[in-house]
Amino acid sequence: MNHLLSVDDLSVGDIEHLMTLTGSFAEVLRRSVPKVPALRGKTVVLAFFEDSTRTRSSFDLAARRLSADVVTFATGASSLSKGESIRDTVETITAMGVDGIVVRHPHPGIPAAIERYTPAAVVNAGDGRHQHPTQSLLDLYTLQTTIGSIEGKRILLCGDIMNSRVARSNVAMFTKMGAEVIICGPHSLLPPHRPNQMFGHPVEIVKDIDAVIGSVDVAYMLRIQNERIADAALPSIREYRATYGLTAERARRMASHAVVMHPGPINRGVEIDADVADSERSLITAQVGAGVGVRMAVLYQLLGPGKFDTGGEAAGEQPAAADRFDDERLSDPGGVGPWSTGEQGSPGSPGKSVDTVDADASTIDLNLIEPQATAPGPVQENAQ
C-alpha cells in the first residue's frame, strides 16, 4: 500500500508500526533542533480544498521537520479558482515532480480519485464526511501515551456521528484496536445503521448519555458539522447541549481516571463546556501536539526508505528509538516505503459497507470536478 486513504485500509500491524514510528519522531521533536534529514530531496504538496488550521499546519510542520520541501496551495489562491479541473491540477503538480500529495476536500472519495492520476503518494487529510485517518492515528497515539492500551476500554463517541469523518475513522480505529465503542447522538444525526453496528463495525448505540457517562474511560465529543447539514437537524443548540453536551455536571460524574477528547475546532458551550475542555481530564491539547509526530510517521512511511519495517527478520537489528533518524542512510532514501505488515483491508471488509458507498472513488470523474462547484455552502460558525 502506497497511500493513506482510510483507516479501513490499515491492518493492526500497520497501525502498531506507525505508533512505534510516531514514538521515535516524538523524541526527535523534543530535541533542541527538532529536525531530521529523512525526506531531504522529497517534495510534499499540501492541497487543501477546504478550510483547515490545525491539520494543514501540522502536515506542513511534519514535512519540514523531515527536511522535505513543501508546496502549499489553497483553492482560492490557485488556478482552481479559474475553473481548472482537479485532474488538470493534479497532473500539473505531478509534472513538477512531487513525491507526496496531502489532500483535503469537501467531497468524499476525492483523495482516492486523485491517486489514479499521479504516481505520488496520496494522504487523505479529510474528505467530506468520509475519512480522516491521520486524526485517528493521532487520537490513538494520544490515548496510548496517556491511558495506555485501549483494548477493552470503553470509548464514547458523542455528537454529530452522521456528518463526521472523525467518527467514521475512529469507529474503525477504536474497534480495530479492541476498544468497546459506544455511540450517542440525536437520531437526526445518526446515519442509517444496523442494530449494534455503525459504519459496519460492532458498537453499542445509546440514546441517553447520562446512562453511560459514569462508566466510560474516554468521552470523545464531536462538533456539529454545520457546513454539512442542509437543513435544521436540531431544534435548538441549547436543547442539544442539555441533552448531549459534556457539561461540567456530567464531567463530574465520569470515573476519576476517565479522559475527554475532541478533534477541534471546539464549540465551547455547545458539545463541550469551556471548563471541561480546559480541565485536567482534557486531552485536547495533547491531541494537537501528537499530530506532528503522527504525520511525520505517515510521510516517512510513505516517502522514506521504509527500512524500519515491523515483523521482518531485521526488526531486532533496528537502531533504538530516535537515534535511527540520524542515520545517514535516511538522507538518501531508496524509494517509496510501502506499508509493511499484516493483512490489508479488502473491499469486503466491514468498513466498506453501509454508508461509505458515497465515497466510491470509481464513480468520480475528476475532469468534471471544479473545486468551486463542489465546495459546501457557507459555514455557520458557532451556531448559537
- Per DSSP bridges, beta strands 180-184 and 204-206 are parallel
Q: Compare residues 40 and 54 and give the one whose CB is closer to ligand NCD.
A: 54
- Window 29-58: residues binding ligand NCD (CB under 6 A): 54-55
- Judged by CB, which is closer to ligand NCD: 291, or 305? 291
Question: How far apart (Å, rounded) are the C-alpha atoms in residues 122 and 67?
Answer: 18
Under the criterion CB under 6 A, does residue 268 sit at the interface with ligand NCD?
Answer: no
Count of residues near ligand NCD by CB under 6 A: 10
| Residue 368 CB coordination number (10 Å) | 11
Q: Which residue is nearest to ligand NCD (CB)?
A: 223
Contact status, residue 227 vs residue 379, Cβ threshold 8 Å: yes
Rank residues 223 and 324 by Cβ distance to ligand NCD and give the closer one: 223
Phi, psi of 112 (to 5 degrees): -65, -35
Q: CA–CA separation, 185 vs 244, rounded Å?
A: 7
Is residue 135 near ligand NCD by the rule CB under 6 A? yes
Residue in the block written with cell 521504509: 306
- Does 223 participate in binding ligand NCD (rule CB under 6 A)? yes
User: Which residue, 166 or 209, is less far from ligand NCD as judged by CB?
Assistant: 166
Q: How many C-alpha atoms does 131 have within 13 Å on its Cβ side? A: 29
| Nearest Cα residue to 164 out of 184, 141, 148, 142 | 184
Q: Does 263 bind ligand NCD (CB under 6 A)?
A: yes
- Letters for 53-92 (x = contact with ligand NCD by CB under 6 A, - = none) are -xx-------------------------------------
Under the binding rule (CB under 6 A), the answer on residue 226 touching ligand NCD is no
Task: Report the candidate in 368, 381, 376 with the shortest Cα–Cα distance to residue 108.
Answer: 376
Interatomic CA distance for residues 365 and 188, integer angstroms: 31
Please give the grid coordinates belonging to residue 142: 494520544
Question: Using the rule CB under 6 A, is 342 a contact of ligand NCD?
Answer: no
Nearer to ligand NCD, 110 or 330 (CB): 110
Helix 12-29 vs helix 284-303: crossing angle, to nearest 10: 110
Q: Does 136 bind ligand NCD (CB under 6 A)?
A: no
Q: Interface mask (CB under 6 A) for ligand NCD, residues 162-201, using x and -?
A: ---xx-----------------------------------
Task: Calculate Rg over the CA atoms of the chain.
Answer: 20
264 binds ligand NCD per the rule CB under 6 A: yes
Residues of this chain that bind ligand NCD (CB under 6 A): 54-55, 126, 132, 135, 165-166, 223, 263-264
